[in-house]
Structure formats: C-alpha cells, structure tokens
Structure 1
Amino acid sequence: MQWLLLPVGGVLSGVLAGLFGIGGAILMIPLLITMGAEPVQATATSSLAIVIVALSGTWQNWKMGLLKLRKVLYLGSSALVTAQLGVYLANRFPPHILLICYGILLSSSFYLIGLKKRLVRQGDPVLSKDKSNSGRARVLAAIVTTGGTAGLLAGLLGVSGGVVLVPMQILLLGEPIKVAIQTSLGVTAIAASSACIGHALGGNVLWADGLILGVGGMLGAHFGIRWLPRLSDAVVTFSFRTLLALMSTYIFWRAWLAYATATV
C-alpha cells in the first residue's frame, strides 16, 4: 500500500507545484510523516525529491535560454552555507519543534501568497540606479538575505522556499516577477542539493521514497502547468488556501502528538 501512496503522492505534489507555483513539499512532508517517517527524515527525503524536480525545471529554463545563471550563482552561494545550518538545526530540534516550525511556515504562506499576487498586479518594479558604494552594499546584503533564507528553509524544513524567495527577490532585489520565478527554481536546486547532501551524511534520507516522490513530482508538475490556464484565479486561490489550512492543522496536530509522546 505504501508503494502505491508514494508515486500517487509524488504526482499530486507535482500537480500542486504546477498549479500554485510552489514546491511539492507541502504534500510530501505530511505524506511521509503519515507513513511513519520521523520529521527529520521527512525533511531530508523531501529535499531529495525537490532536487529532482528543481533540476528538471532549471534544465528546461536553461535550454529555453531563460536562466540567468549569474543571478542563480550569486543567490545560491549563500544558500549553500545556510542549508547546512538548517540541517544542523533539524537534527537537533525535537520532533514536535520541527513540526511546529513547518506548521508556522504553512500558515504564513497565506500572507506570502497574497503578497506575491499584489506584487504581480503592480507590475515589474523599477530597478535601482544607485551605483554608489552604499547602494552596492544594500544589494549585496539583499542577495545574502534572500539566498540565505532559501538555504535555511531547505535544510531545516525540506521545502523549496519558492513562496518566500519570489517575493523577496521582487522586494529586495527589484527583480521582474518572471525572472524571480525562474531564478528561484535555480536557487532551489542549489539549496536543496546542499541540504540533501548534509542530511545524507547524517543518514536521514529515505532514498527510495525520495526518488519515487521526485520522479512523480516531475511528471505531475507538467499536468499542473497545463491545467492552470483553465482555472480561474478565485478557484486557484480558494483551493490553495483550503489546502494550506488542512495541512497546517494536520501538522500542528502531529506536533501535539509528538510532544505528548515525548513527555509521557
């Protein structure tokens, strides 16, 4: 039964990623926890699946000439480091704390998705023309903050961080929305790869599960992208927020169970 849940869950995760423009970890992690994985194992295995999906999408962008490699490398350099910090914290947090952190991220996505929509409606921002040393320092700080956040989320919670990365690139770096999304995918590939290596060294990755979820997610994302134009914004927004509410409620409930078990 579990081997049926994994491919189906992977495809559904990919469909969600294609429909809502976020990583499939929102479904992968609860699925893995339901199947008996420890929270840190779910985080680690999700990072492996995200590597597969993100690398596939990044390769497609590269072939189409849409990938800004220099921007990806700038942001990804700090993500490499902070991903290892996330791995370190994930291995030391009690299971219920790790679940609470993931639940908080799911809940905060309500605001972040709304912010992303407002930024898209406002159109592409005007890039800063400030060439002074102070202007360069602010840009460098924004790059480190943006990439560092992606790496930390990948290592700690096993998520792609796209729901955070895209608004941060627009707000802090003045990136056009389409460039921000394409760059986010490339940075996600770097951050998730770093996180996956760190977790693998700690023996946390469930390799077979992660590979099945990743391949399924890669296939499902193509269906999600095809279906998205057929759905109204209202339907997509309502469906996404309903899913977030259900998943965050479930994760907080599992956190309470983990805490109750630990204190018995």
Structure 2
Amino acid sequence: MQLFLPIADIPVNVFLILALGAAVGFVSGMFGIGGGFLMTPLLIFIGISPAVAVASVPSHMAASSFSGALAYWRRRAIDPMMAAILGCGGIIGTATGVWLFALLRSLGQLDLIIALSYVVLLTVVGSLMFWEGTRAILRLKSKTTTLTRRARAQGWILSMPLKMRFKRSKMYLSVIPVVGIGLFIGFLGAIMGVGGSFLLIPIMIYVLRIPTGTVIGTAMVLTLFTMVFATLLHAITDQLVDAVLALVLMVGGVMGAQFGTRAGQRIRGEHLRLLLGLLILSVGIRFAVELVIQPTDLFSIGELRAGQ
C-alpha cells in the first residue's frame, strides 16, 4: 500500500514506515531512549531526503517524550528547576541549530554535514558504550569491583560560580554547565534530528552527578522542549516538516514501545549497554559506508534558485 508524502515528495510503503516506527519504538522502550538517532538515519536510508528526515523526526520525538514525561511527573521523578534551566539552554541551542541548518541548506552542504555528523557522533558514542558494556560484563564474570572516579571528575564543575540549589535532585551546583549541556543537546537536535537522551542521560549522571531517580524524567522534559521548538522552527523557516510521515511514525512507535519496555525488563543492564553500543556503532558504520561508495546515479536534477 503506497502513501504519498507531500513534503518529502515521494511515495512510500505505509507498512514499511509503520514497521520503522515500531522498530524504533521497540528500541526506545527497551533502552529508555528517544530513538531519534535511529529514526533519522533509517528514513534517509529508505530514500527520504536528510533535510525532511531531520525536520520531521522531532515531532515524533516530542509526542513520545510527552507521554513519558507525564508519567515521570506523576511519580515526582522530575526536577522542575533543573528541567527549566536545561530548557533555557536547549531553546538557545535549538534556535542556533535551525539557523545553521537553513544556512547549510542554502549553501548546498546540508546533506554532507548531516552524514558526517552522524558518522562522528555515532561511531564515537557507540564505541565507548560497547567498550564500557564489555568491561562491565567481564568484571561481573571475574567478580571484581572497581572504584568509581565520579567525585574526582567533578572538581572543576563544583568550583564554578552562579550556584543554585536543585531541591528535587538534592544538588547544589552552578547553572553554567547545566545551561551549556542544554544548549549542546538542543543544537544536536536541530541539526541531526535526535532527542539527545542517549548522550544527555550519561552526562547528567557521570558529569553533573545527578541522582538517577530524577535523571530520565528530567531528560524527557528537555527532549520535549527542544523537539517541540525544533518542529515549530523547521515548519516556519524551512517548511520541511512532513506531518503525514510523522503521524505514521507515531502510530508505529507507540505500538513498538510497549513490547520494547517488556523486553528491556528481562535483560541485565550490562547487556543492554553492550547491545545499545553495538546498535549505535552499526548505524555510524553504515553512514560511513554510504559516504565512500559510488552512487548508482551520478547526476541529480534540482531546482535552480535565482542568482545561481
């Protein structure tokens, strides 16, 4: 069954899009992450232009983050002040990312930058997560323990000015790194179409040392803020948000997430990190292969703008 996507301007198999949404929803439910780092590349791999994929996925991410954030809010597992300060940085970063997105698109370099960004980010993050997961499994098998270095790594952050108290997280730290992290995650979301939870959660735990009880819910609130804002900006400035594509992805994602959550509860945390690292690394490698292989069609037809 073919479905025409008005903004992407191509027909696609509706069952394929549903399957992609369900697969990414399954992964999101299993690992507790947004899944945008998988959704955007998969859409690009099936022929949707990188610009439309990056602009359309945030609406799917916003919908999934809203339901998750609402559940964590009811459980009082969100730090409102932390989320607000992260959101301030995230909005600035998102606006900057959308501006750079439009600039690169006007220069004709957007597709290349998106591909290179995914290659670098996913290969580095995937390799680190795979290595950390492997070490954790080996430590369990050898029944050895290692001392954590989290406290030592926090000295430079604890010495920063402009400190404030975050009551829900029971933290007293500077707002500077909090705003900076939000800015970084918002910028990535606008340029790459990712929610950034797979980066934000480890940063909040291992860099800011925020208790894990409030990390996931607070990260979901930031994802909700940045993805809604990115969707609005992309729709207004670039007119690249394909609502039909986003709606079908949402339906598939909701179905897949239910099964993924149940599967994730049956797997050990160390194995989950290892599997997630492999998954992220494989997508990064696929992007790298796409950059170096020769395309079957060496020429393309595009609209010629005035002055070109």
* TM-score computed with the length of structure 1 as normaliser: 0.85
| Equivalent residue in structure 2 for 1:99, among 115, 126, 129 | 115
Q: CA RMSD in A?
A: 3.2
Structure of higher CA gyration radius: 2
Contact 2:30 2:263 in 1 (8 A): yes
Write the letter of the residue equivalent to 1:182: G
The residue matched to 1:173 in structure 2 has which SS? Answer: coil
Aligned to 1:149: 184
In the alignment, the residues of structure 1 paired with residue 42 and residue 19 of structure 2 have an alpha-carbon distance, to the nearest angstrom, of 10
Deviation track 1:210-231 (CA, whole Å, cap 9, x = no partner) reads: 1221232233222211111212
1:179 to 209, 214, 232: 214
Corresponding residue for 1:139? 174
1:158 equivalent to 2:193? Answer yes
Name the structure 2 match of 1:33: 44
Conserved in 1, the CA contact under 8 Å of 2:73 and 2:217?
no
Equivalent of residue 21 in structure 1, options 29, 32, 48 = 32
Alpha-carbon offset, residue 54 of structure 1: 0.6
Partner in structure 2 of residue 217 of structure 1: 253
Structure 2 counterpart SS, 1:134: coil
What amino acid does structure 1 have at the position aligned with 2:121?
Answer: L
Distance apart, 1:82 and its partner CA = 0.8
Residue 85 of structure 1 pairs with residue 105 of structure 2: no
- Encode CA deviations 1:12-36: one digit per residue, 9 max, x unaligned: 1011112222221233112211232
CA distance in 2, matches of 1:28, 1:189: 16
Summarize deviations over 1:156-195 as a string: whole Å, max 9, x none.
1110111211122224432012312221111011011111
Q: Between Structure 1 and Structure 2, how many residues are aligned?
A: 262
Which stretch shows the higher mean deviation, 15-24 or 226-235?
226-235
Paired AA for residue 56 in structure 1: S
Residues of 2 paired with 1:261 and 1:176: CA distance?
52
Is 2:60 the counterpart of 1:49?
yes
- In 1: Cα distance, 2:131 partner to 2:288 partner: 24
* CA contact 1:79–1:151 (8 Å) conserved in 2: yes
- How many Å apart are 1:240 and its aligned residue? 2.4
User: Is residue 78–residue 215 contact of structure 2 (8 Å, CA) maintained in 1?
Assistant: no
Stretches of structure 2 that go unaligned for 5 or more consecutive residues are 2-12, 137-145, 165-172, 301-308
Deviation of residue 262 (structure 1)?
Answer: 7.7
TM-score, normalization: structure 2?
Answer: 0.74
217-226 or 193-202, larger mean C-alpha shift = 217-226
The question of whether the paired residues in 2 share the 8 Å contact of 1:28 and 1:213 is answered with no
Q: Is the 8 A contact 1:112 1:163 kept in 2?
A: no
Question: For residue 108 of structure 1, what is the amino acid of its counterpart?
Answer: V
User: CA offset at residue 43 of structure 1?
Assistant: 0.8
Aligned residues of 2:25 and 2:254 also touching (Cα < 8 A): yes
Match for 1:109 among 120, 125, 130?
125
Question: Which of these residues, 254, 260, 263, is aligned with residue 290 of structure 2?
Answer: 254
- Structure with bigger strand share is 2
Q: Give yes or no for contact 1:45–1:210 (8 Å, CA) kept in 2.
A: yes
CA distance in 2, matches of 1:132, 1:257: 49
Deviates more, 1:167-176 or 1:249-258: 249-258
Shift of 1:91: 2.9
